[in-house]
């Protein structure tokens, strides 16, 4: 019988340090058998060691994707959530950190365990109090128990890294940031232990042992510490409050902040949290965030990510469809497409996979292969190549992975040389092989290969621990600090998230992108020493930024089109290159920002190549019709070539009068080519409708400014009609953006064409008629502008008010558009250099 009176299923909810995991371990050990699912392999291993001490190694199993210790008589199973053997009948089951059901990548797994993982006698759902509404909805019979935190958690303010109290954990959100913080602590305070979720349990335990033994007073960690890892930490300091979640860089939620901050203090000992840097800096907590964390008040979850577990293995298409099946419960939502589904879809498009994955057994094997986690975080495209090689072996011959292929891959990774990043990368790759070795039917001798992968991982883990210790722990720092006056290279240099550069706490300048600007009063002997120290540090910082730029996703870049400024490319909001005149309008040149001159030649070349690649891809996406024009020119009919060249040069819009001698020469082939390219030959203009959309207008105008060597002009409003006073766009800009000038108003050329076609459709020879006013009045075109437009398309005023009669098109000078009005006067001034 369970300890909860009303139901064999109970949800134990509350903040960190409430003893939820300890309670689950106690409850499990009170039953004849049990199982707990954890969010991290590190946490499963930590609790496994505790239960072994209580029950003996023969009774306890550890089951994760990459590691399986399963004695024949095991009764207690400590697992990662994904690896829980749900078919096993046990008396007790617990799911830890169940609020991860809202996670983008793994949420569906935790939701499935919350719904379906059950013990014969007792089941506990452990997690944040934010889960309460969804538990009430999904498990109406479950008993909900909330537990208060054992100790107080309070805000201790923002502090410089050099002034953090001992026994502090500093939390960062990328490996680069972790390493940078650990390096500063090595210089200033003697060193730090490093803990990241990607570390093997062996490396993590060795690093934590240094911290627990007092060999170092500080620990630098990623947000993996928030997932229940027990550390003797008195204070948690956030190096930043933003993280990249796989899709975008965003600020942490209050719940995420609290989960991490709650690692401070254990049992009855109080803890504190704060930030690194200035109290009012970008990385500082907001008052409402502090209050919520201290009082444990967070927004509740109103849905969990869900994916159907009722899978149809009859065919690959049926499997994909069943994975996408929606839930009929409003609380269960289809989460973002996880990596395994993305890999499955990529493989399903391969002919050889489709030929082999026929029948339920083959489809199930394909799905199992797609489920190999992307331990290296290489992305679905790269990871799918590894899975494809694996499935090729699993779907041919005897359906087992050849020993030679497995051994060769493992042998390449069995190398302890290189820096910490290289070794950490090898450990991640070994985890993929360890995962394969844990599958009972993928290798001929899985136990042998599991032992081999474990041995390789241990060797690499020992090397990584040694590398981390050598890099981030310096027991001679005290001596060096006494010598600091003699060697500026030993001065601690900090580059803040906002680019502010300080040496030994003194602000000396700012690094914007790659360009460093010293503060105005950085002069004199001391300042020169500080600048010299900073320059040494900035070499590495610039190199790090260059590598980050080269590896950045396309979403990190943007075209800067600020009026009055040169057209430029920005990376994470920082200007890194300016567009200049190139071979053609859609092939501009890039001039590197002067800050890039400080990079070495190879890094600078890689940066520029990445920027060129992004720019070319963006131009293809935004201005595809112009690219099609350029591509069609060489093979176009002779009669059409002059017209296409003029359109390409002008950005896709040309006054028809400029083509007066060309249009009569177009034969049937030339007109068919024109239609194929999406060109409208209108009554007044030749244009490409696709290029009149706001984003296309912005890019066309930017490229024209770059070609002309001018700054970005003010763009007109995104409307069909622009009147005098609607923005600050000049007449030349309006014309380039696709407007016709009609006195005090300007009309977009596609709307002018619609009105022209409607007028011609409504006329009966040269008889006077009254056009339908609905089309013009609905877009706000005034009478004077209507008159100018009607005369331009060949009509004259009729006898009655508002009537018009066709008189035929009269020749006009090529550059003439509406003769009067502010827009026209501006255009005339621009043409004649006024």
Q: Would the pLDDT of 482 be above 60?
A: no
96 φ, ψ to 5°?
-95, 150
In terms of C-beta density within 10 A (0-12 exposed, 13-18 middle, 19 or more buried), how is residue 120 classed? middle
Q: Read off the pLDDT band of 145 (50, 70, 90).
A: very high
Q: Which of 39-48, 241-250, 275-284 has the highest mean pLDDT?
A: 39-48
Q: Would the pLDDT of 820 be above 60?
A: no
Q: Which residues pair with 515 in a beta bridge?
A: 512
The strand pair at 34-38 and 60-63 is best described as unpaired
Q: Which residues pair with 93 in a beta bridge?
A: 35, 123
Residue 484 in tokens: 């600091």
In terms of C-beta density within 10 A (0-12 exposed, 13-18 middle, 19 or more buried), how is residue 396 classed? exposed
CATH number of this structure's domain 154-295, picked from the four choices 3.40.50.300, 3.40.930.10, 3.40.1590.10, 3.40.50.150? 3.40.50.300
Give dist(CA 186, CA 816) in Å, integer: 72
In terms of C-beta density within 10 A (0-12 exposed, 13-18 middle, 19 or more buried), how is residue 39 classed? buried
Q: Which of 269-273, 286-290, 576-580 has the lowest mean pLDDT?
A: 269-273
Return the residue matching tokens 């860089």: 249
Angle 565-570-572 (CA atoms, 0-180°, nearest 5)? 135
pLDDT score at 536: 66
Q: To the nearest 10°, report the CA torsion of 528, 530, 533, 539.
A: -80
Percent of the chain with pLDDT over 70: 89
Question: Over the stretch 456-468, which tens digit does the pLDDT of each residue have?
Answer: 999 998 998 888 8
Residue 417 in tokens: 């040389």
Residue 526 in tokens: 């001391």
In terms of C-beta density within 10 A (0-12 exposed, 13-18 middle, 19 or more buried), how is residue 287 classed? exposed
Domain ranges of the chain: 9-146, 154-295, 311-326+333-472, 483-551, 716-834
Q: Is 271 helix (H, G, I), strand (E, B) or coil?
A: strand
CA atoms within 13 Å, Cβ hemisphere of 90: 29
Return the residue matching tokens 């990774």: 413
pLDDT score at 35: 98
Q: Would the pLDDT of 307 be above 90?
A: yes
Q: How far is CA 785 from the centre of its chain?
A: 48
pLDDT score at 774: 78
pLDDT score at 812: 44
Give dist(CA 84, CA 66) in Å, integer: 13
Q: Would the pLDDT of 314 be above 90?
A: yes
Q: Which residue has the higher pLDDT, 168 or 200?
A: 168
Q: Which residues pair with 95 in a beta bridge?
A: 37, 125
Question: Over the stretch 394-417, which tens digit does the pLDDT of each residue have?
Answer: 999 899 999 999 999 999 999 999
Question: Over the stretch 81-128, which tens digit does the pLDDT of each residue have?
Answer: 999 999 999 999 999 999 999 988 899 999 999 999 999 999 999 998
pLDDT score at 492: 66
Cβ neighbours of 497 (radius 10 Å): 15
What is the pLDDT averaged over residues 588-612? 89
Mean pLDDT (the chain) is: 85
Question: How does DSSP assign 548-587, residue by residue?
Answer: HHHH--GGGEEEE--TTS--EEEETTEEEEEEEEEEETTE
CATH number of this structure's domain 9-146, picked from the four choices 3.10.20.740, 3.40.50.150, 3.20.19.10, 3.40.50.300? 3.40.50.300
Q: Where are the alpha helices (DSSP H) in 278-379?
A: 287-295, 316-323, 339-348, 351-356, 360-370
Q: Read off the pLDDT band of 831 (50, 70, 90).
A: very low
What is the pLDDT averaged over residues 204-210? 85
Residue 497 in tokens: 């998230």
pLDDT score at 780: 85
Question: Over the stretch 363-386, which tens digit does the pLDDT of each residue have?
Answer: 999 999 999 999 888 888 899 999
Give dist(CA 396, CA 459) in Å, integer: 33
What is the pLDDT averaged over residues 746-755? 91
Model confidence pTM above 0.95: no
238 φ, ψ to 5°?
-90, 120
Q: Would the pLDDT of 485 be above 80?
A: no
First and final C-alpha spacing in the chain? 93
> String of b and e for 177-211 (b: at least 16 CB within 10 Å)?
bbbbbbbbbbbbbbbbbbbbbbbbbbbbbbbbebb
Q: Would the pLDDT of 775 be above 80?
A: no
Percent of the chain with pLDDT over 90: 44
pLDDT score at 207: 86
Question: Over the stretch 237-262, which tens digit does the pLDDT of each residue have?
Answer: 998 888 877 677 888 888 888 888 88
Same fold across 9-146 and 154-295: yes
């Amino acid at each position: 019988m369970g300890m909860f009176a009303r139901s064999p299923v109970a949800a134990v909810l509350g903040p960190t340090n409430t003893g939820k995991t300890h309670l689950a371990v106690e409850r499990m050990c009170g039953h004849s058998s049990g199982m707990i699912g954890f969010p991290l392999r590190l946490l499963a291993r930590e609790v496994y060691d505790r239960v072994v001490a209580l029950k003996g190694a023969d009774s306890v199993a550890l089951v994760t994707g990459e590691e399986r210790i399963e004695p024949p008589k095991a009764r207690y199973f400590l697992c990662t959530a994904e690896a829980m053997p749900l078919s096993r009948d046990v008396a007790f089951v617990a799911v830890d950190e169940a609020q991860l059901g809202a996670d983008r990548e793994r949420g569906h797994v935790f939701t499935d365990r919350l719904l379906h993982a059950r013990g014969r006698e007792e089941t506990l759902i452990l997690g944040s109090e934010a889960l309460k509404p969804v538990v009430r909805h999904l498990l109406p019979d479950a008993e909900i128990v909330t537990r208060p935190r054992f100790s107080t958690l309070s805000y201790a303010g923002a502090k410089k890294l050099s002034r953090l109290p001992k026994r502090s954990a500093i939390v960062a959100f990328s490996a680069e940031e972790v390493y940078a913080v650990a390096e500063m602590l090595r210089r200033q305070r003697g060193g730090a232990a490093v803990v990241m979720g990607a570390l093997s349990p062996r490396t993590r335990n060795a690093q934590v042992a240094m911290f627990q033994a007092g060999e170092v007073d500080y620990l630098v960690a990623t947000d993996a510490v928030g997932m229940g890892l027990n550390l003797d930490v008195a204070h948690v300091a956030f190096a930043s409050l933003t993280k990249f979640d796989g899709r975008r860089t965003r600020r942490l939620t209050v719940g995420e902040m609290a989960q991490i901050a709650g690692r401070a203090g254990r049992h009855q000992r109080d803890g504190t949290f704060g930030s690194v840097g200035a109290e009012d800096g970008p990385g500082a907590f907001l008052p409402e965030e502090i209050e919520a964390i201290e009082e444990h008040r967070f927004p509740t979850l109103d849905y969990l990510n869900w994916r159907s577990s009722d899978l149809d293995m009859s065919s690959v298409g049926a499997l994909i469809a069943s994975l996408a099946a929606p839930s009929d419960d409003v609380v269960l939502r289809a989460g973002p497409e996880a990596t395994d589904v993305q890999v499955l879809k990529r493989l399903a498009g391969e002919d050889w996979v489709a030929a082999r994955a026929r029948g339920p057994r083959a489809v199930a094997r394909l799905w199992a292969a797609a489920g190999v986690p992307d331990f290296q975080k290489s992305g679905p495209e790269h990871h799918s190549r590894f899975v494809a090689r694996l499935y090729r072996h699993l779907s041919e011959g005897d359906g087992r992975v050849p020993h030679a292929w497995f051994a060769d891959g493992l042998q390449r990774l069995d190398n302890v040389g290189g820096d910490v990043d290289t070794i950490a990368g090898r450990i991640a790759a070994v985890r993929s092989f360890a995962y394969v070795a844990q599958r009972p039917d993928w290798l001929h001798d899985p136990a042998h290969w599991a032992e081999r992968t474990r041995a390789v991982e241990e060797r690499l883990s020992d090397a990584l621990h040694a590398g981390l210790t050598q890099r981030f722990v310096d027991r001679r720092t005290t001596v060096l600090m006494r010598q600091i006056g003699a060697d500026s290279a030993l001065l601690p240099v900090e580059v803040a998230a906002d680019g502010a550069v300080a040496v030994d706490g003194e602000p000396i300048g700012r690094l914007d992108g790659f360009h460093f600007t010293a503060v105005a009063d950085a002069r004199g002997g001391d300042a020169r020493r500080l600048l010299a120290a900073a320059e040494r540090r900035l070499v590495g910082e610039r190199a790090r930024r260059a590598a980050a730029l080269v590896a950045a996703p396309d979403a990190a870049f943007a075209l800067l089109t600020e009026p009055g400024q040169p057209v430029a490319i920005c990376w994470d909001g920082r200007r890194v290159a300016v567009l200049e005149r190139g071979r053609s309008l859609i092939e501009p040149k890039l001039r590197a920002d002067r800050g890039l001159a400080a990079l070495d030649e190879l890094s600078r070349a890689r940066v520029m190549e990445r920027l060129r690649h992004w720019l070319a891809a963006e131009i293809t996406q935004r201005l595809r019709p112009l690219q099609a024009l350029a591509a069609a020119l060489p093979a176009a009919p002779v009669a059409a070539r002059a017209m296409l060249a003029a359109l390409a040069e002008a950005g896709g819009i040309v006054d028809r009068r400029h083509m007066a001698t060309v249009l009569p020469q177009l034969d049937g082939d030339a007109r068919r080519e024109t239609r194929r390219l999406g060109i409208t030959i209108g009554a007044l203009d030749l244009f490409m409708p696709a290029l009149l959309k706001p984003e296309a207008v912005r890019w066309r105008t930017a490229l024209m400014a770059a070609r002309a060597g001018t700054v970005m002009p003010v763009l007109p409003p995104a409307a069909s009609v622009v009147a005098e006073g609607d923005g600050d766009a000049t007449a030349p800009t309006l014309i380039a953006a696709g407007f016709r000038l009609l006195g005090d108003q300007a009309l977009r050329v596609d709307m002018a064409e619609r009105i022209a076609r409607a007028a011609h459709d409504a006329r009966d020879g040269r008889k006077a008629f009254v056009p339908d006013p609905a089309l013009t009045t609905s877009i706000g075109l005034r009478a004077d502008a209507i008159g100018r437009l009607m005369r331009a398309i060949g009509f004259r005023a009729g006898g009655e008010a508002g009537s018009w009669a066709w008189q035929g098109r009269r020749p006009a000078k090529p550059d003439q558009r509406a003769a009067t009005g502010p827009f026209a006067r501006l255009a005339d001034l621009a043409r004649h250099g006024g």
